[in-house]
Amino acid sequence: MISTREVFALILAAGSGARFGSGDKLWQSLLGRKVWQFSFEQFAKHPMVSGVAVVCPPDRIADYRKEIGNRATVVEGGRTRAESARLGLAVAPRDAALIAVHDAARPLVSQSLLTKLFEAASEHGSAIPALPVVDSLKNELGEPVDRSGLRAVQTPQVFRREWLAEAYATGEEATDDAELVRRAGHPLRFVPGEPTNVKITRTEDMKLLNRLVPTEVRVGHGYDIHAFAEGRRLILGGVEIPWHKGLAGHSDADALTHAIMDALLGAAGLPDIGCRFPNTDPTWKDANSLSLLASVAKELTESGCRILNIDATIVAQAPKMAPFAEQMKANLASAMGVSHRKIGLKATTHEGVGSLGREEGIACFAAALIAAPLDDCGG
């Protein structure tokens, strides 16, 4: 069996991505993270991996080094896949018994698949993830092709270091490392791959990947209350409501927006608005709460979270909120970058009971539902 930290990983990120269209597919955002970061993190945290080298184009070396720091080696790639892999192997430690070669365009490789591959390669010398071909196949003449002996091959492909070095030494090219190792006379061991371990080739693949990234649903609750004050504007959901009094506060005192921000932050497990925008900081004096909401939503999006739903209630004896509700929803949706259909907004009185019933202020409640990526994508 494999000993601890025996594997060195080569993540190949030097391809041209010509079929993807505009932009570098590996630097596209996938639930708040760059595509290449998913597989990098999976290798970097695996207990059997001693180190990682990212092989990239020369014009991206500075970008990768800035993101990775000293967590891995960044290597300039070659003109072909095999050449890039050879350059990556050159920086692998001599005591690395196994080398894993992975396409960075496969972001959803899982910890469990890595473990299976490492263990199989330790025992058999090689391990290649593969899936049976399930689609019917025909050649260019329309004749059926027997698929019974065919496999769809994935990465990472794992080999004994000396086998891989021997295969690369020939200087030959192939579409994957397994073919070079086979030509060198070494046996290939196939391991069941995973359907989610897909490769990004075209722009449309990003839509599929966004649905495949494992997420969990989280709920947050927010509450805010402000007293009425003379000489203040009454602003709720970014709408200025004609009224003889406004709400007291350090910012614009938009209690509805404040409650929604706290609900979102709570769902994401982040500090509340009192910590982020304290009323002791002059920076936030008379601040536009919709702008603050936009910054909160942006932070959640960049961390990979998606806002699924907001449900909010305004409790006010007066004035009537119904005439302004749709504009409030539109403002809030715009600030969060979501459809207005994802926002539920209700208003109710306090039936004359208590301070709210005596028209001394307005309170708002909000619940937020978000989808957040699991820490361990793919299991």
What mean pLDDT is predicted for residues 61-73? 96
Over residues 322-351, the pLDDT tens digits come to 999 999 999 999 999 999 999 999 999 999
In angstroms, the CA 237 to CA 226 distance is 14
Q: Which pLDDT does position 375 carry in this prediction?
A: 58
The answer to whether 371 and 305 have CB atoms below 8 angstroms apart is yes
For residue 196, which of 295, 98, 106, 318 has the smallest C-alpha distance? 106
What pTM was computed for the model? 0.70
Q: Which pLDDT does position 158 carry in this prediction?
A: 98
**Is 313 exposed, middle or buried (CB count within 10 Å of its CB: 0-12, 13-18, 19+)?**
middle
Q: Which pLDDT does position 311 carry in this prediction?
A: 99
Q: Which pLDDT does position 379 carry in this prediction?
A: 38
Q: What's the pLDDT band for 378 if we cut at 50, 70, 90?
A: very low
What mean pLDDT is predicted for residues 298-321? 93
Looking at the predicted structure, is the pLDDT value of residue 19 above 50?
no
For the chain, percent of residues with pLDDT exceeding 90: 80
Give every CB contact of residue 209 below 8 A, 6+ residues apart in sequence: 30, 35, 107, 108, 198, 200
Answer whether 7-212 and 215-373 agree in fold.
Answer: no
CATH 3.30.1020.10 fits 215-373, yes or no: no
Give every CB contact of residue 6 below 8 A, 6+ residues apart in sequence: 48, 50, 96, 97, 98, 118, 122
What mean pLDDT is predicted for residues 133-161? 92
State the chain's mean pLDDT as an integer: 92
Looking at the predicted structure, is the pLDDT value of residue 22 above 70?
no
Q: Which pLDDT does position 3 carry in this prediction?
A: 58
The answer to whether 296 and 265 have CB atoms below 8 angstroms apart is yes
Looking at the predicted structure, is the pLDDT value of residue 48 above 50?
yes
> Taking the domain 7-212, which CATH number applies?
3.90.550.10
Q: Which of 53-57, 345-349, 370-374 has the lowest mean pLDDT?
A: 370-374
Over residues 172-200, the pLDDT tens digits come to 899 899 999 999 999 999 999 999 999 99
Q: Which pLDDT does position 338 carry in this prediction?
A: 95
Euclidean distance between the first and the last CA atom of the chain, given in angstroms as a whole number: 22
Q: Could you tell me the two tokens for 92?
A: 């692998």
**How many residues are there in the chain?**
379
Neighbour tally for 141: CB within 10 Å: 5
**Domains of the chain, residue spans:** 7-212, 215-373
In angstroms, the CA 46 to CA 354 distance is 58
In angstroms, the CA 315 to CA 310 distance is 16
